[in-house]
């Protein structure tokens, strides 16, 4: 699979939060926590969604004492049953893309619904690995402001920036380059 993550282009983002709606809809299946895996940030100069970057060194996974977060084929995956709700991953994430919520559970016993012990659940981007067509947030964005980025795309963008920097530096040359 290789390392992939979702990035937002603040210039294309119109603040509609449709990405969050798509994410919640995708994660509203039975057994899932119906919460967006997209964090929304709005400042005076920018409005954009923030999503897990699936870091290569994954500080969130390294901080988890139970191994609830782990590396899996270029992404940071979750083992919900191991989460103890300590929030070490939340503190370690440099993007603020990990959240811990407490779910109130219930069980059926002879037709009666009984409350069970609340349990912690990790909320972070899972790249919608079980969804054909990739992340729901990317598909839902009406402006194309969200993009699933891989190593090849990162290298292409890096080359573009280096070319632009070289052209900008050309104006400082003491010898005419044209």
Share of the chain above pLDDT 70, in %: 90
Measured distance CA(14)–CA(37) in Å, rounded = 19
How far apart CA 59 and CA 120 sit, in angstroms, is 20
| d(C-alpha 139, C-alpha 169), whole Å | 39
Q: CA–CA distance from 40 to each of 47, 115, 135, 165 (Å)?
A: 8, 32, 16, 31
In this prediction, residue 4 carries a pLDDT of 87
Please write the tens of the pLDDT for every residue from 96-112. Answer: 999 999 877 666 677 77
Strand partners, 148: 6
How long, in residues, is the chain?
178
pLDDT value at position 46?
Answer: 81
Of 174 and 51, which is predicted with more confidence? 51
Q: What angle do CA 2, 21, 14 make, to 5 degrees?
A: 85
Under the banding of pLDDT at 50, 70 and 90, the label for residue 71 is very high
State the pLDDT at residue 148.
92
Look-up: residue for tokens 């937002």?
A: 8
C-beta neighbour count of 31 within 10 angstroms = 5
Quickly state the pLDDT bin for 29 (edges 50, 70, 90): confident
Does the pLDDT value for residue 80 go beyond 90? yes
Q: How far is CA 15 from the centre of its chain?
A: 17
Report the alpha-carbon distance of residue 171 to residue 66 in Å, rounded.
55
pLDDT given for residue 1 in this prediction: 47
Q: How far apart are CA 59 and CA 63, in angstroms?
A: 6
Tokens of 99: 């959240």
Q: How far apart are CA 95 and CA 49, in angstroms?
A: 11
Report the chain's mean pLDDT, rounded to a whole number. 88
Is the pLDDT score of 2 beyond 70? Answer: no
pLDDT in tens, 6-18: 988 888 988 899 9
pTM: 0.78
Dihedrals phi, psi of 141, to nearest 5 degrees:
-65, 120
Residues 87 and 63: their CA atoms lie apart, in Å, by 9
């Amino acid at each position: 699979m290789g390392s992939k993550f979702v990035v937002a282009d603040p210039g294309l983002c119109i603040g509609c939060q449709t990405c969050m709606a798509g994410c919640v809809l995708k994660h509203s299946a039975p057994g899932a926590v119906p919460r967006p895996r997209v964090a929304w940030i709005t400042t005076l100069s920018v409005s954009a969604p923030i999503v897990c970057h699936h870091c290569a060194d994954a500080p969130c996974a390294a901080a988890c004492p139970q191994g609830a977060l782990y590396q899996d084929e270029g992404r940071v995956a979750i083992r919900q049953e191991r989460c103890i709700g300590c929030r070490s991953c939340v503190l370690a994430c440099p993007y603020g893309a990990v959240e811990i919520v407490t779910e109130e559970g219930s069980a059926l016993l002879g037709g009666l619904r009984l409350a069970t012990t609340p349990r912690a659940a990790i909320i972070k981007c899972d790249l919608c690995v079980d969804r054909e067509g990739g992340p729901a947030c990317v598909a839902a964005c009406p402006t194309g402001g969200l993009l699933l980025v891989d190593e090849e795309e990162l290298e292409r963008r890096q080359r573009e920036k280096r070319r632009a920097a070289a052209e900008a530096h050309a104006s400082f040359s003491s010898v005419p380059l044209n």
